[in-house]
Amino acid sequence: MKKDKPGSDSACSFIRSHLVAIAEKDVPGEAFPGVRDHLDSCPECASLVRQFSRAWEDPAPQEDTEPSASFFPRLIERIEAEERPWAGRQGALALAWRVLKPAAVAAIFLGGIFAGNELGKRDRAILAPEAAFSGQVLESFENIPSGSVADFYVSRQNPEKEGLE
Amino acid sequence: MEDGDLLRRIAAKDLGAFKTLVNRYQNRVFGLCSRLLCHPQNTEDVAQDVFFQVYRSSSTFRHDCCVSTWIYRIAVNRCRNFNRDNRKFGEVAKLRQDLENEAWSGPGSEAPDGVDPASALTLYETRALIRKTVASLPEKQKEMLILNKFEGHSYQEIAEIMDVSVASVESCLHRAKLNLQKRLAPQFPDLCRGRKF
């Protein structure tokens, strides 16, 4: 008998973990004599294998798998309802709705993206950076009172300006 | 009358032929659906869907395979779709199934005539355990095992129903049985008393 793991090689545990194979007589060749000998000597395992094999042979008796008496009449009612003239029109509407619904959702989604983009463009109407910056700086330089501390520093930073003046 | 001829007549809206076909297959379809569904109480509705589909698609059937295979294929697909759509309620259904299984082993359970009550009880329990464990297998393994073991279909028939190769059926069934064995082992009482081969 092949041993799976040291210490867990009891015959009963092997039987328990190979019940399906034993019930189908699909036990590996080398293990078969050991299984047979063990079943001869262990009444618990023999009983378990016997029970399991019986259950496995017929796992689901057909006692509760019959439809009710109203099964066929209800089926015919359903078919007749399907074949009524207005049912076809309803079916066409349902089909149209199934196609149009995702298209409508997609159109709303894309419309939202487009509208958001357009609104964003309107808010971001700003001057080019160079123009904005140079305009502000020149304006502030022109407003410096002559003889002030700021004027002194600006003159020191830019001696050319003094010379020009 | 042959199944193929019945289908031709059903395609021409012959309800009599349809009734004959339903009578011929309803128990088998019902049995298959009740085993495949995670909610066996919906078996009748799903079986109705199957035959409704058979009626509607009878004109498109190409007669290149057995009618029974085609009906089984519809049933398997319907059950798969139903289980997918109702997976979130699966746990409740399993709980109900467990309660039903427990009811089998209650004192009110009756054993068939001529069978020792104690051993018959164990047989019912074992059957319930097998059914419950099969139901817990992955969907494809469960379907193949049910078609093979519970419904008695050959590998070739299963391959046609599931639209896969015979080799694929063999390997999937092998995996299903190993998986089943693995899940069943802890459920049986530990008989080990230190015996060794």
How high is the pLDDT of residue B157?
Answer: 92
**Same domain, yes or no: A40 and A27:** yes
Residue A66 has pLDDT above 60, yes or no: yes
How high is the pLDDT of residue A135?
Answer: 63
**Same domain, yes or no: A117 and A147:** no
Question: Is the model's pTM score more than 0.95?
Answer: no
Average pLDDT over residues A139-151: 78
**A2 lies in some domain:** no
Domain total of chain A:
3
Beta-ladder partners of B196: A10
| Domain B1-85, CATH | 1.10.1740.10
**A71 lies in some domain:** no
Query: Which residues of chain A make contact with B177, given a CB cutoff of 8 A?
Result: 20-21, 24
**Same domain, yes or no: A15 and A53:** yes
* Cβ-based contacts under 8 A for chains A and B: 115
Does residue A105 sit at the B interface (CB-CB below 8 Å)? no
Nearest CA in chain B to A76: B15
**Same domain, yes or no: A149 and A120:** no
Q: Do B44 and A68 touch (CB under 8 A)?
A: yes
Structural domain that includes position A100: 94-125
How high is the pLDDT of residue B192?
Answer: 47
How high is the pLDDT of residue A144?
Answer: 78
**Same domain, yes or no: A115 and A140:** no
**A108 lies in some domain:** yes
**A88 lies in some domain:** no
Q: Are B161 and B144 in contact (CB under 8 A)?
A: no
**A76 lies in some domain:** no
Query: Which residues of chain A make contact with B27, given a CB cutoff of 8 A?
Result: 62, 65-67
pLDDT tens for each residue of A82-138: 777 665 566 677 778 888 889 999 999 999 999 998 888 776 656 566 666 666 666
**A104 lies in some domain:** yes
Nearest CA in chain A to B21: A72
How high is the pLDDT of residue B88?
Answer: 63
Q: Do A62 and B27 touch (CB under 8 A)?
A: yes
Long-range CB contacts (within 8 A, 24+) of A159-165:
none
Looking at residue A155, its amino acid is S
**Same domain, yes or no: A44 and A21:** yes
The low-confidence residues of chain B, meaning pLDDT below 50, are 92, 95, 99, 102-120, 192-197
Looking at residue A55, its amino acid is A
Contacts for A2 with CB less than 8 Å, ≥ 6 apart: A28, A30, A31
Report d(CA A22, CA A42) in Å as an integer.
15
User: Phi/psi of residue A10, each to 5°?
Assistant: -70, 145
Indicate the residue of A12, A56, A78 with minimum beta-carbon distance to B52: A78
- What is the DSSP annotation of B35-64? HH-S-GGGHHHHHHHHHHHHHHHGGG--SS
Contacts for B130 with CB less than 8 Å, ≥ 6 apart: A55, A56, A59, B184
How high is the pLDDT of residue B158?
Answer: 93
Indicate the residue of B22, B52, B131 with minimum beta-carbon distance to A59: B131
**A48 lies in some domain:** yes
Beta-ladder partners of A10: B196
**A6 lies in some domain:** no
Average pLDDT over residues A41-58: 85
